[in-house]
Structure 1
Amino acid sequence: MQIITNFKFMFSFFILCIVINKVLSIVVFFISKKNVTITQSHSLFSRNDLKTSDTEDILEHLCNVLEEWGYKNPTISENLEEIICYKNNIATVVYYLRDKEEVIGSEELYPIVGKARVKKINNCIIVTTSYFDSNLNNGIKSIKKSGMDLKIIDCNELTKLIRENIEKQILAEGAV
């Protein structure tokens, strides 16, 4: 019985040594990488960051997200209110509304869709740092019935998308 107990202890100790060795080799790898220090810190992107970030930064993240979704050549307009991009050679316009109101309703939605129609674009994504009115579904249904492909992204979803984008950038850089 004593032999079995000793064997279990030695086997457990051996596995522990292997795990510690692997962890140390990973730490050494990251310490030895150029331009990466073990003290680099990255905070998660939050709703508060969404309110305090520059419009250009938010639009840059949006362009990255659009590219991940398969959109090509996202181009930010000079007025920083829209992004034009293409998917399967079909144009899509992304309108960015920054804290215009706390809640975006149908009355704000229709003029934006009108801008897309003037450009002869039938694919539209509306992104806001605010919230959409809970009664907006009827307006969206009527817009979609008219032939417009419309998607909306509110502050919660935008925060999540940007956070995921930042995490992917961190992983691509190899930072810890």
Structure 2
Amino acid sequence: MTDPNSPQETEIQLPVLQGFPPVIGEHTHTLILGSFPGQASLQAQQYYAFRHNQFWRLLSAVLERDLQTLPYAERIIHLNVHGIGLWDVFRSCVRQGSLDSAIRDGQLNDFGSLQLRYPGVRRLCFNGKTAAKIERHFQQRGYQTLVLPSSSPAYAAMRFEEKLSYWQAALHCSSIPPSISPQSHSNCI
């Protein structure tokens, strides 16, 4: 008989969560990488579906088009027109809640296949530090990389306007300067 107080008996087994396929097209040059979809996104089957996440607000300002009021499919069309794709670092993980800090047993997406299939993707923008933990891996494979301030409402250390200046600098530049800052935004197209 097993002890009911043993860790094996009292530990809650969480299901393995599955992420989304990439949102990418043949003209995509910039891929924004999150860590893994939150609960609201998983339920809606849409990237950045949690209404308090600032992602769509940031992209609306960067692209000078109100994406927030558009249906999801139209938002994706606008990203594709601008050469921007979406994906996550992890294809699956175990997580309770939506916080990146709760991600366990993360399995990476197949970036090798993505690089072969979409060689036009040259720039990876990581949406927050959790996604960027494997930045060096991508730099070694020839990608330009940039870590952006997280659009998550959990990242409250920076005001929206500050985040926006980094996002604008990153997504308006045709190439990433060695050190991007809000001040380098003026050098971007």
* TM-score, normalised with respect to structure 1: 0.34
TM-score, L = length of structure 2: 0.33
Greater helix percent: which structure?
A: 1
